[in-house]
Amino acid sequence: MESKSLIRIIRAVATHVSKDKTRSHLMCVAVTSDRRIEATDGHRAIRVDTDPPHGLPVGLYEPKKLLALLKADIIPSVADAALTYWPTLDNVIPEKATKPATVCYANPLYIAQSAEALNDVVDGDKCTPLRIQLGADALDTIRLDAKGNQASGIALIMPMRA
């Protein structure tokens, strides 16, 4: 994958990294496979699947350091930290719904930031629709999907109590 596209994807995923110093394991961008990059702050999450493979080694990366390396056209040979603990997003990503959803409560700023990050992932392709899915219950996770030519992404937002 070309470095310009990878920089754009890392910058988008980094918007969902935790800024809370007590959650140090959530302050990183996680590269979980040769085609998958994830991040979460505990309230929202984003997952990007790339095609072709992105070329980064599996592990956790400090976003600013990784972006600086990529801007200098340097692909790291090892991650900042091994994936000793990373919360799996597989358990919280809802399946695509086929029936209408109910009203939910969510922070609109999280929805806007996630939508903007996914738009960056798919390279701002004007023809790419963003799919927003609400759960069947007011406290179900909100799912946003986008698919572009080189990458696809899923963003999750955990709803608030009414």
Strand partners, 152: 49, 147
For CA atoms 31, 89, 121, 33, give the dihedral sign.
positive
Pairwise pLDDT comparison (52 vs 137), residue with the higher score: 52
84, pLDDT greater than 80 = no
> What gap in Å lies between CA 10 and CA 66, rounded to an integer?
8
In this predicted structure, what is the pLDDT of residue 103? 61
In this predicted structure, what is the pLDDT of residue 49? 93
Task: Give 107-130 pLDDT, tens digit per residue.
Answer: 888 888 998 898 888 876 666 788
CATH of domain 3-71: 3.10.150.10
Strand partners, 24: none
The strands making up 44-50's β-sheet, listed across from edge to edge, are: 59-61, 29-33, 36-40, 44-50, 151-157, 142-147, 131-133
Q: The whole model's pTM is what?
A: 0.76
What's the pLDDT band for 15 if we cut at 50, 70, 90? very high
The DSSP result for 29-72, as a single string, is: EEEEETTEEEEE-SSEEEEEEESS---PPSEEE-HHHHHHHHHT
In this predicted structure, what is the pLDDT of residue 8? 92
The two structure tokens encoding residue 80: 């900042």
Q: Where are the domains of the chain?
A: 3-71, 108-157
